[in-house]
Structure 1
């Protein structure tokens, strides 16, 4: 099988694609991995060959932060800015995927860039799988508004809201996406129009999260449900050689972090991944004050921010951590609510403070708060006093015990199950059956 895996977006969007590529390659498949240009080196550093497609997502995120229309009072200007944001990079994605897709058996994409990848797959008559990290399809189980009061609304309101959001995104993308074929047959690589009539190629939406977090959603969405695509063995944070000999290698940082963890009490983990933390110096100062006031050490994973790495007795700042090894050694996890970090903290059995920034993050915050596994607040409202109060809430014994208990239910074979689904979609069920049987034995 020759699958094309196209995962754009932030590093959190790309990591599941890299894990999936690794699993498929270990099964003997000839995988092409396409990532945003700024994430290709990240894949290469972990032994996964990748090619660029679309635009640099770090640049797109920066452009979003500097667009003053999002903070303006004019709702029409905000709507225009949102529509333009949805379209950014899509023409480049289409152009690159049209060149990459011929010769492959199946196209797989994440939620970011899903429409462009599906358009190219349909034009070529290829099966298509989208990996959903959140239940974004219309349903009545997940509140359409990420707020506590929304859970009291009737289900038809949620389904109607999700449908309206899907139509709005389609309208935003319509100027840059080709017309969707009504019936598809293979087209040439340079054309997206159907060449004739015939059945549409197979399409599936892999639900790559724990449906137990959204009661009722399993009955409403077709699946398959695989569970979170978790980095079980720390593959994405494994020690790599530094390209710059003047900098400490990742292996050196890992050893230093292990020594730091061993040298004192369990810390509070803070990590915001690719998200903007505002003024980094002020952010770190606030975290230092909160942790000092609580008599706790601070472990900060700086992600894409410009916070300098370093180790002190009470504070450790690193670029990234192996969540599977580090989070179980922390007393709480403060983060942005990305699906990957949320899943890692759930698996580690650590209570969470989710400070959401955008996209699906506030939904994760509300879902976990409803189940008593976390508390949540928009990141823009975060202050030292509020963080201190939120940490008080997740430090209660009943929350700590609930988080530890939930960890025993988190499946860790999501990557393998997603690989099974892709094999089956591409018409190689024998391999999928073999791996499924191996897990059940």
Structure 2
């Protein structure tokens, strides 16, 4: 596997519109191209098929009686336009009986709560995020942003939002105090915390987004600008696929260390750099894309757990236009709409002037939305500068729309059959502009840095043509037959792990605990456990967490050389960092202790000064007696004082150094070698079964023994099987090739067996020790679930006697049918 050496080359090729120039002749691109899986279209050469040609999983919740009823957490990072579709989804999930919490930026609390959804603030300022994205449209920082310190601000904001996202999983409602622990998570990818929260909780995750985020041959990553070189070693489909890997690698380079530092707080292991960019794919996380298949059909090379559902539309709000707006609409021909929503524009005055000049040149009437940039401030005939107004109502009263290309705004315009011009600023906006133009419903998009009065006037004229109106009307007719929100809800239910999800006592509740009674293991919900604990039917010591979905993030190995080399490099990096901590940590601690000492001394010194007689002290005034100085301020020696803290910080650095060496040398290196040797047969086309995850000493010992037996027997068998297979396929030449494969197979498999018999049990022992030591997060989750269970059991929502009876029935093996919480 190639290293990240070529990434700076791509970083230096970031265009003004934020898209990345991907040089397909580069070493990184050609190396990644070798790992693109082969694909043959099932019905011919076409690269895309419609969503209904690739059926989703068999189970669908077609009725609104889906069991169990879940605490569904929706995590969203972005603008109001990103949040709004998920409000519609949340309301749809409520009709199934789920409890829905939407976790997003603090500024959207009223917006979310007015929609009757629960809310949790995750921090972060969406206006700052939008401003950053305008400066760095493709997520890759410009030199201007580096100089102005924007990158560190964004990293700090991401760290804040990661913490907020985790708290949203387990903390009570900030308004009502009602306990909440997530049973399932839905998220958009920019929230970044999603898979890590799901891993810590052991609950299912479903990603939903309006922008292509999964590798495909059908089209390139929206943030990639492909540059085909003279060598021509990569075809279009492979180039499209590779573009996703390169953009993901660059994004992970900027935020991977922030995410890994946060994962440590959750008692999760750091994610290797090779795995971070591909977590969604490697973990096979269900992904629903919220756009119309009429506009962009589902690519054929996406698996069944990825789908396209249609745009999300909320119910049209009850809106009465202002007198000013109503009079303007009645006073002349149907106007066009121009607006850039939550985009923060650097020079709104210049943008206003450009828009007005284009409107005058075409002679049209226009409604210009002020947006977050507050466009306007000038008087112009036939132009109305408008504040907040729902697009669902407004777009039905205009002749065409010109906007930034947000997915929601694009969808609303097309649903109303309005020809559309897109002026992309960043992200997926260029992609949607290209798709609209390909459908004939608008002109080619005009990147905002290229926008002028002349090309905007040409775009307006295009939108007013009969051909554009007909194309937009054709799309509208198809989109009106879709129901993206309802389809997304069905896909969410279809991809849930149904077997592990239900409580054995209360099937309408999700299981979160396991209780062992003799040979039986029961899955219990928070509510059932709350009732049973309250009536002493079970004890906390007999309960263990039940994961409805497990995530195992391990470093995949391709061969023993790169595996051991990369591990050695990682070990050296950790040791170097720990060595630096031997010096850095004591200095930081000394500074912190000095600040603490000053902060403790200041109020005491103030009191002493006030108590001392002096010319400024009024006679006869009784001043308070000064308290003795705090002990840590008086003492500079011993383990409890500043000196002791500095010493302990140095010891911590030394401990980290030897810990990095010990883990790297005795655990990571043997694991890398065993997995590397195990993977060698893949290099010559042989299928290698996936190794089961090692989670504790039992699974480690079991895998060590299994790999020993399978490696030795498989290696010896290769000496016979491979030559015979080669001879059957290619005669004498094939036999010779097969003999070579047999030798390689024998050497690699027996080597993996020999190393693995030590490596896999060692990894298992390490995981058991780590699980015992790092248990704070598990304790926090357990406590939160117990609290919610106690709350649910105490609010009278279930027949307590029936729960006790049902528990006894399940233990005794009787299988009475359950109906609405009663045994029949």
TM range (shorter): 0.7 to 0.9
- Per the alignment, residue 12 of structure 1 pairs with 81
**Where does structure 1 lack aligned partners over 5 or more consecutive residues?**
182-187, 195-199, 240-250, 432-441
Structure 1 residue 120 and structure 2 residue 197: aligned? Answer: yes
- Per the alignment, residue 137 of structure 1 pairs with 214
On the 8 A contact 1:139/1:221 being kept in 2, the answer is no
Query: Which secondary structure does the structure 1 equivalent of 2:308 belong to?
Result: coil
More helix by share: 2
- Per the alignment, residue 487 of structure 2 pairs with 417
1:180 Cα deviation after fit: 11
Structure 1 residue 263 and structure 2 residue 346: aligned? Answer: no
Q: 128, 146, 158: which one pairs with 1:90?
A: 158
1:284 Cα deviation after fit: 2.6
1:331 Cα deviation after fit: 1.7
- Per the alignment, residue 415 of structure 2 pairs with 347
Query: Which secondary structure does the structure 1 equivalent of 2:375 belong to?
Result: coil
- Per the alignment, residue 36 of structure 1 pairs with 105
Query: Which secondary structure does the structure 2 equivalent of 1:22 belong to?
Result: helix
- Per the alignment, residue 245 of structure 1 pairs with none
- Per the alignment, residue 167 of structure 2 pairs with 99
Query: Which secondary structure does the structure 2 equivalent of 1:31 belong to?
Result: strand
Distance between the aligned counterparts of 2:240 and 2:262, measured in 1? Answer: 26
Distance 1:365 1:107, change over 3 A: same
Distance 1:291 1:50, change over 3 A: same
Structure 1 residue 277 and structure 2 residue 345: aligned? Answer: yes
Distance between the aligned counterparts of 1:355 and 1:112, measured in 2? Answer: 22
Structure 1 residue 224 and structure 2 residue 307: aligned? Answer: yes
Distance 1:41 1:292, change over 3 A: same
1:421 Cα deviation after fit: 2.4
Distance 1:374 1:332, change over 3 A: same
- Per the alignment, residue 676 of structure 2 pairs with none
- Per the alignment, residue 293 of structure 2 pairs with 211
On the 8 A contact 1:64/1:85 being kept in 2, the answer is no
**Where does structure 2 lack aligned partners over 5 or more consecutive residues?**
1-69, 171-180, 229-233, 271-281, 509-824
The structure with higher relative contact order (CA 8 Å, sep 6+) is 1
Distance between the aligned counterparts of 2:389 and 2:253, measured in 1? Answer: 39
Distance between the aligned counterparts of 2:120 and 2:262, measured in 1? Answer: 26
Matches within 5 A, 1:349-368: 349-368=417-436
Distance between the aligned counterparts of 2:209 and 2:397, measured in 1? Answer: 29
Distance between the aligned counterparts of 1:29 and 1:189, measured in 2? Answer: 29
Distance 1:121 1:179, change over 3 A: farther
On the 8 A contact 1:70/1:81 being kept in 2, the answer is no
Distance between the aligned counterparts of 1:383 and 1:327, measured in 2? Answer: 24
On the 8 A contact 1:6/1:110 being kept in 2, the answer is yes
TM (norm. structure 1) is 0.79
Distance between the aligned counterparts of 1:262 and 1:323, measured in 2? Answer: 18
1:205 Cα deviation after fit: 0.8
On the 8 A contact 1:6/1:17 being kept in 2, the answer is no
- Per the alignment, residue 162 of structure 1 pairs with 244
Distance 1:62 1:161, change over 3 A: closer
Q: 226, 236, 259: which one pairs with 1:177?
A: 259
1:64 Cα deviation after fit: 5.4
Structure 1 residue 22 and structure 2 residue 91: aligned? Answer: yes
1:138-178 Cα shifts (integer Å, max 9, x gaps):
11111346799989961111101112212222232210113
1:202 Cα deviation after fit: 7.8
Q: Which has the larger radius of gyration?
A: 2
On the 8 A contact 1:269/1:330 being kept in 2, the answer is yes
1:60 Cα deviation after fit: 2.9
Distance between the aligned counterparts of 2:156 and 2:478, measured in 1? Answer: 39
Query: Which secondary structure does the structure 2 equivalent of 1:92 belong to?
Result: helix
Distance between the aligned counterparts of 2:495 and 2:222, measured in 1? Answer: 33
Distance between the aligned counterparts of 2:265 and 2:376, measured in 1? Answer: 46
Alignment length (residue pairs): 400
- Per the alignment, residue 448 of structure 2 pairs with 379
Structure 1 residue 109 and structure 2 residue 187: aligned? Answer: yes
Distance 1:266 1:216, change over 3 A: same
Distance 1:210 1:311, change over 3 A: farther
On the 8 A contact 1:206/1:226 being kept in 2, the answer is yes
Distance between the aligned counterparts of 1:107 and 1:18, measured in 2? Answer: 14
1:365 Cα deviation after fit: 1.0
1:274-333 Cα shifts (integer Å, max 9, x gaps):
112333233233323322332221112222222369998722222333323322332211
Query: Which secondary structure does the structure 2 equivalent of 1:300 belong to?
Result: strand
Distance between the aligned counterparts of 1:109 and 1:97, measured in 2? Answer: 10
- Per the alignment, residue 242 of structure 1 pairs with none
Distance between the aligned counterparts of 1:178 and 1:72, measured in 2? Answer: 25
Distance between the aligned counterparts of 2:101 and 2:224, measured in 1? Answer: 40
- Per the alignment, residue 398 of structure 1 pairs with 467
1:400-430 Cα shifts (integer Å, max 9, x gaps):
2111112101144111221222233444899
1:83 Cα deviation after fit: 6.9
Distance between the aligned counterparts of 1:180 and 1:6, measured in 2? Answer: 17
1:101-138 Cα shifts (integer Å, max 9, x gaps):
1321101111321x312211111101111112122211
Distance between the aligned counterparts of 1:298 and 1:334, measured in 2? Answer: 10
On the 8 A contact 1:355/1:379 being kept in 2, the answer is yes
Distance between the aligned counterparts of 2:448 and 2:454, measured in 1? Answer: 13
Query: Which secondary structure does the structure 1 equivalent of 2:208 belong to?
Result: strand
CA RMSD of superposed structures (Å): 3.6
Distance 1:368 1:168, change over 3 A: same
Answer with 325-334 or 147-156: which moved more.
Answer: 147-156
Distance between the aligned counterparts of 1:66 and 1:354, measured in 2? Answer: 18
TM (norm. structure 2) is 0.44
Matches within 5 A, 1:301-320: 301-307=369-375, 314-320=382-388
Distance between the aligned counterparts of 2:418 and 2:432, measured in 1? Answer: 15
On the 8 A contact 1:123/1:193 being kept in 2, the answer is no
